Amino acid sequence: MKKILFVSFFSPPIGSGGGERVTKLLEYLDYFDRYLLTSNYPTCRYKDDFSRISDDVKVYRVLFKDPRLFVPKFIYKILKKNQSEEKDIIEKYKIIPQSFATKIRLMFFIPDDKIRWAKDSMKEGEKIVEENKIDIVITTGPPHSTHLIGLYLKRKKNIKWVMDLRDLWSENPFVFYPKRSKIKNQKLEEKCLKECDLIIVVTESFKKVLLNKFDFLKEDKIKVVHNGYDKKDFVVKPKDLPGFTITYAGSFYSLQTPIFFLKAFKDLIDENDEFKKEAKIYILSPFEDNVNKIVDELKLSDNVIVSGFIPHKEAISYILGSKLLFLFLGRGGEVTVPQKTFEYLGSGKRILATVPDGECKEILIKCGVKDIVDPDDVEGIKRKLLEIYKDYKEGKNISLNKKMVEEFSMEKISKKFKDSLIEGGIL
């Protein structure tokens, strides 16, 4: 039986969507001996259930020393200088401002603020490989500093190494690198892409971006394995949510803002008393402060509840208890497919998607989702919301293309992951 070491900064008990993919792959790839090198993150604000990692996975943890706790005062002054310029951009494009932590990470840490953890993990990774006679190392990012562990182990132990890219690195449309930082990131990315044995990406679009940018890459070195949903997650009891309830489970950041959807919702509330009485939005977002500002500005606090982060199991109960699920992807997101897309599809619930043309929209259409609007079309969103509300009042149900949705179940996704390792010459 082959032995695989997954390297992921995110995993339970850290509450993050970034840990979902590796947690599920570790569970379903049970025809391998699986090992996990991950972080011990005592200052993490968001906690999930520790037991979500399979019992038969051997877990190693390396302490993460949060660099935000050691920021010198002069850095605050540098960042303050850019505030007025950022204010204009925020107002013009209606974007959520970058958090202070993000600014620090992009300006002062290459490739990201997990680099110290990655360096501390290199020797631990080497020890795990030697003691357990590991055959394959799979690094998943972001954070992309994780891939530097793979690069180290490849050079030291000449082991087979797979890069799993859940997001693009230097070409991520939602990460705005300072010029000098972007150049350094591109150089690191190029080294990793050249020296790894196989690249796995989560969208066809990511593959195209990489092939267009790096002329040394060959098509057969990059395999596409989408994210997926786990049927077993949906055995939880649905949350009791009376009325016309809409749920959004996930983050808002940068160009990913709920402003247009909430404006459409606000217009309907002002125009329709019955809708106002029955309609409620639950936003399960870890960055609740930014969202609450928009909710307060639009005077929607009676109809919009921003819960902050909740554990994955509870989020699923909200999804199952809702009448409608809201899926958002802003301009610039043409190449991405949010992970929540697949859990929404797996739930069988009706989905209102405000997404641009691109891979996410294509997947939704193939799976039978018909309620799709451009992300900044307030009037279009408003019309769709009213149409869906009327269907709800009349008891009309929708049905998805179950056969197509099934393609994104973890049984199918984990098989595709294994097949990609075989096709890529790793197994």
Residues 6+ apart with CB under 8 A from 44: 13, 14, 15
Are domains 3-69+80-228+409-423 and 231-406 of this chain identical in fold? yes
Residue (of 44, 35, 40) closest to 7 by Cα position: 35
C-alpha–C-alpha distance, residues 137 and 162, integer Å: 6
The whole-number pLDDT of residue 13 equals: 80
307 or 262, greater pLDDT: 262
Reply yes or no on whether the pLDDT at 70 is more than 70: no
Contact 39, 13 (CB under 8 A): no
User: What residue type is assigned to position 236 of the chain?
Assistant: V
Residues 6+ apart with CB under 8 A from 379: 264
Please report where in the chains the tokens 């997101």 appear, as a residue. Answer: 333
The whole-number pLDDT of residue 93 equals: 39
SS3 string, 153-214, reads: HHHHHCCEEEEEECCCCCCCCCCCCCHHHHHHHHHHHHHHHHHCCEEEECCHHHHHHHHHHC
CATH fold for the domain made of 3-69+80-228+409-423:
Rossmann fold (3.40.50)
C-alpha–C-alpha distance, residues 327 and 346, integer Å: 14
- How large a percentage of the chain has pLDDT more than 70? 89
Please report where in the chains the tokens 């891979």 appear, as a residue. Answer: 359
Residues 6+ apart with CB under 8 A from 325: 246, 247, 248, 249, 319, 344, 347, 349, 350, 351, 352
Please report where in the chains the tokens 């790894």 appear, as a residue. Answer: 196
User: What residue type is assigned to position 374 of the chain?
Assistant: D
- 76-111: pLDDT as tens digits: 555 555 444 444 434 443 444 455 566 666 777 899
C-alpha–C-alpha distance, residues 278 and 276, integer Å: 6
Q: Which of 65-69, 286-290, 304-308 has the highest mean pLDDT?
A: 304-308
Q: Which of 31-35, 177-181, 253-257, 305-309 has the highest mean pLDDT?
A: 31-35
The band of 335, judged by pLDDT with boundaries at 50, 70 and 90, is very high
Average pLDDT, the chain: 90
Reply yes or no on whether the pLDDT at 28 is more than 90: yes
Report the range of poorest mean pLDDT among 67-76, 304-313, 342-351: 67-76
Over residues 320-340, the mean pLDDT reads 93
DSSP annotation of 67 reads G
Reply yes or no on whether the pLDDT at 75 is more than 70: no
Helix (H) or strand (E) holding 284, with range, is strand 279-284
Please report where in the chains the tokens 């149409």 appear, as a residue. Answer: 387
Contact 337, 365 (CB under 8 A): no
Rounding to the nearest 10 degrees, give the CA dihedral for residues 229, 235, 241, 246.
10
CATH fold for the domain made of 231-406:
Rossmann fold (3.40.50)
Over residues 108-137, the mean pLDDT reads 96
- 359-415: pLDDT as tens digits: 999 999 999 999 999 999 999 999 999 999 999 999 998 899 999 999 999 999 999
The whole-number pLDDT of residue 45 equals: 74
Residues 6+ apart with CB under 8 A from 19: 8, 10, 11, 12, 48
Domain ranges of the chain: 3-69+80-228+409-423, 231-406
The whole-number pLDDT of residue 68 equals: 64
The whole-number pLDDT of residue 284 equals: 93
214 vs 144, 160, 188, 333, CA distance in Å? Answer: 17, 21, 13, 21
Taken in order 168, 171, 174, 179, the sign of the CA dihedral is positive
Residue (of 34, 92, 50) closest to 414 by Cα position: 34
Residues 6+ apart with CB under 8 A from 24: 228, 230, 410, 413, 414
